[in-house]
Amino acid sequence: MAVRLCCVLLCFAVGIPLASAAGNAEAGRSLYPVCTACHGAQGQGNRAMSAPKIAGQHGFYLLKQMQHFQSGARGTAPGDAKGRQMAAMSKGPRLASNAALENLIAYVQSFPDKKIVKTVSGDTDRGKDLYVACASCHGDEAQGLEMMAAPRLAGQNDWYLVAQLENFAAGKRGYAPGDHGGRQMKAMMGVLKNSEDYRDVVAYINTLSQ
């Protein structure tokens, strides 16, 4: 705790963005070009490739997802073609160490967090009621809470959020025994009954400050 506080103070003092404290963004730069075709040059996402925005997401979550794709805790469920594609991209000698992943993610976190184009519409009043069940982990503003291992949802591509809710419901995420966060999230799908619920809750998330 004391070490962390010192780091925070030091980062303020020398003007390093806090989010990148774990990795070296410059060292991560050369690892990113292979990601560009799907996630965009600045991590803004690309719907045509089904690849979400990764700019503006918490580093702890990006790191964990890369590790999940590498270990098979994500991207190996039957029928998950998109997850399998991404899993293939997470492997290879250059990404084999956690230090390399941390550098890559520090670089991703240097991208500007641009607003998304909204594509999902729904009943935001219903969505607000549904979101009550989500706030304890994802935060009141869907900003993500590291303590709960829960990612930021506000500002994420809305079509991607709907697709991931479908994936959790279908068991394409949260299936691995060691994936505690994913299993917790999968269990939450009891609250959302059908695609109308998915759209409504995502439409509400779209109203939160990005």
Residues that bind ligand HEC (CB under 6 A): 34-35, 37-39, 49-52, 54, 57, 62, 64-66, 82-83, 85-86, 89, 104, 130, 133-134, 136-138, 148-151, 153, 156, 161, 163-165, 167, 173, 181-182, 184-185, 188, 191-192, 201
CA 56/CA 19 separation, integer angstroms: 10
CB of 23 to ligand HEC, least distance (A): 12
C-beta of 11 vs 27, nearer to ligand HEC: 27
Query: How far apart are the two ends of the chain, measured CA to CA in Å?
Result: 29
- How far apart, in whole angstroms, are the C-alpha atoms of residue 28 and residue 206? 31
Cα dihedral 45, 48, 51, 54, rounded to 10, equals 0
C-alpha–C-alpha distance, residues 39 and 50, integer Å: 9
Residue 21 or 149 with smaller CB distance to ligand HEC:
149
The CB-of-63 to ligand HEC minimum distance in angstroms stands at: 8
Q: Which is nearer to ligand HEC, 7 or 188 (CB)?
A: 188
